Amino acid sequence: MINLKGVCVAVLLLSFSTTHAQVNSNKQGASFKFNSTDVEIQFYSPSIVRVFKTPVNKPYKKSSLVIIKTPDKTNVTQQREGSNLILRSLALKVVVNETNGSVVFYDLSGKQLLKDSTTTFTPKEEAGSPSYNVKASFVLDADEPVYGVGQVMDNKFNRRNSKYVMKNENTFTYSPYFMSVKGYGVYWDNYSISEYADSPGNLSFQSLGHCADYYFMYGKNADGVIKQIRSLSGKAPMLPLWAYGFFQSKERYTKQEESLEVLQKYRSLKIPIDVIIQDWRYWPEFNGTDSAWNSQRFDTDRFPNPKKWVDDIHKLNARLMIVTWPGFGPKTDQRKELDSKKMILNFDTWPPKSGARPYDVFNPEALNIYWKYLNERIFSYIGNDGWWLDSTEPDHINVKDADFDVPTHLGSYRSVKNAFSLMHNGGIATHQKAASKDKRVVLLTRSGFVGQQRYGSNTWSGDVGSTWEMLEKQIPAALNYTLMGIPNWNSDIGGFFAGRWNKEGGAKNPKYQELYLRWMQFGTFCPMMRSHGTEVPREIYNFGNRGDWCFDGQEKMINMRYRLLPYIYSTSWDVSHNDGTFMRPLIMDFAADAKTHEIGNQYLFGRSVMVAPVTKPEVSSWPVYLPASTTWIDFWTGEQLAGGQTVNKEVPKDIIPMYVKAGSILPWGPAVQYSGEKKWDDLDLRIYPGANGRFTLYEDEKDNYNYEKGSYSTIDISWNDAKKELTLYTQKGTYPGMLVSRKFNVCLVKPGLNIGMQANTAGKVVNYNGRQVTISFN
């Protein structure tokens, strides 16, 4: 059980004056009093330092909702030089100045990384209890780019010279975290409605709480920082293979036959699909009202046999994801029980005028009650495959200032609001995993917070509008979000609110068709590829027939997604096992190229394929920056291009700019109608020459948690560019049903040959039995 005096704010409290600090060193750090502040510095590892501050004589016991790591035993040497105490680990040097109370972080070469400026505690009464406004400021280099902060729809990538009220709402998802291009990150451990502000020479967080508590992480590069924030807050688990297929949804399928008909049409058209999603109001109404909102029961008229419904979905080789909300109408059993135990937050949530109110996700017993009903009425009853967790901010209807004073199990709602999604996702994920190890947890959620990656959550960008401007804003928002260590993100393909298009022909309107197709191209290269929205139905057959440009363009991208599944699933393993990232902004791999520091509209999907989604209508070409020090190969033509230049790529409506790093080894899977239809016993391996390269092909049972016990296999593959040799190394690991032999069709990509969506027409066939083999292309 977590107790709220543990909800705090992260920042530093150092005033610059002539007061002399009394510094006491210990094995893993130091503590001191300076002016009116107690400061403790503790190494959590050689690369991670926690700084914890409280007003003097106001000790505070902190229990974090995010941090699950306990400090490693770390060798810290200590040295005094004049008024400085120098703490040194194998990765960092931290200098505490006894004269002015400053704490400065350096790398071991002596390069200054970050300096705290001031931290202030201003007394404040919070919902009738004493608290503080805590403000901490940091000094950065004047021209130092930083990223993170969250998913913000302002079309900015670099977060310098920006100000945000950090209050999680529909389409805006914040965490008090930033990452520098210099290779360090800061997470301020606080969940209250907060402020982020940056101006020349001063970056600050201001929050509500009883302490300033932050973690400085030095990873040398973005990958290193992400590795460290996950070491602090939890690693990302594997999702099942089907979670990387195509999802179809709408607001909403009203009866069980409707979603089955959608799947049957996709199957008859031979358009790949893996998941159908059931949105709200599958439950019965109460006297024509929403007072039974989210009862988690099925309406007997519209869903007369929900178990058979899900069985029929599974017989069509598809999966069901079903929505559940954090709020309950007053006529539901859940609301009555939670109300009786004072586990309901006393403000209105969605839908309006329903009387629905959210439950107290900060109360462990409330999480148990929520799962009890969800399991009995849905999971153990119908055997659904995933959860759509809508409104996880949550929605707040008829907002009043007093609503934020509402008590939760951990204090005022204001003091913990931003962690609502983290706790709600965590309650469902941990309960499901405890109930079943046969199905990996898959969550689609509308909000997020640092640490949520440990629950298998995939955040979507919320109810965004169907406009070109909003499509453009998705990309930097997604990249900043994933730089916080949360790898899974997606958006409603085509935008959610499409009313303006519905009045102008809907899916038959060529202008909307172009927007939708460009959005689908972007969605193909997101961790989840999901079509959803209101007003305009998004199923592919609503856009025309095979032979129509919009239909064919969608089919092309959906097929692209499925052919890339071996690459995507192996990337998922890299994310889980190596703390990798799906959507990699260019600063992750090319930070030395200063031109990448402001580029937030293109990225690498995995470690090999760079995409630059088209976000303007009626364009014939699209500018793409090719980062320096790398040779790039046009996916569609095979043309080799030098890095360090901007090229204008011709972009007919069915083409998204795609460039592959030289040295990449790209596995190309079979044409399938669903993710698990065919074994990967006959894969193409596309080799993109021009540099040495490596790739690890990962395989397992496609679902369940046996991989956590070592039930999986990997095949390391390397390309020696000078020798023109490809080596398939001995297969490692084993799992039930593992292939013992297979065929690889190895193709050396050249201009005009074996490129784009074409099948392998020339190359070398390798019969592989799990033992090392080398193929020469000399």
Annotated active-site positions, please? 390, 393, 463
- For residue 71, the surrounding DSSP H or E stretch is none
Of the candidates 347, 368, 616, the one whose C-alpha atom is nearest the C-alpha of residue 475 is 616
Rounded (10°) CA dihedral 336, 338, 339, 342: 160
In Å, what is the CA distance from 316 to each residue of 123, 241, 308, 509, 707?
Answer: 61, 17, 12, 31, 26
Contacts of 236 (CB under 8 A, 6+ apart): 230, 453, 454, 456, 486, 487, 488, 575, 576, 579
63: buried, middle or exposed (CB in 10 Å: 19+, 13-18, 0-12)?
A: middle
In Å, what is the CA distance from 77 to each residue of 52, 83, 90, 104?
Answer: 20, 17, 9, 16
Cβ(146)–Cβ(180) below 8 Å: yes
Phi, psi values for residue 524, rounded to 5°: -60, -30
Mapped onto helix, strand or coil, the DSSP state of residue 364 is helix
Cβ(327)–Cβ(356) below 8 Å: yes
Q: What is residue 540's DSSP assignment?
A: G
User: How would you list the strands of the sheet with 92-97, edge to edge?
Assistant: 77-81, 84-88, 92-97, 103-107, 112-126, 129-139, 202-209, 194-199, 163-166
Q: For the chain, first and last CA: distance in Å? A: 64
In Å, what is the CA distance from 626 to each residue of 141, 145, 197, 472, 588?
Answer: 27, 20, 32, 19, 14
Cβ(358)–Cβ(326) below 8 Å: yes
Q: Which two tokens stand for residue 204?
A: 């600050």
Give the span between the Cα atoms of 92 and 29, in whole angstroms.
12
Of the candidates 343, 395, 348, the one whose C-alpha atom is nearest the C-alpha of residue 369 is 343
Residue 67: other Cβ atoms inside 10 A: 20
Mapped onto helix, strand or coil, the DSSP state of residue 243 is helix
The per-residue DSSP string of 473-498 comes to HHHHHHHHHHTTT---EE--BT-SB-
Q: Which residues pair with 412 in a beta bridge?
A: 407
| Locus of tokens 């009220």 | 165
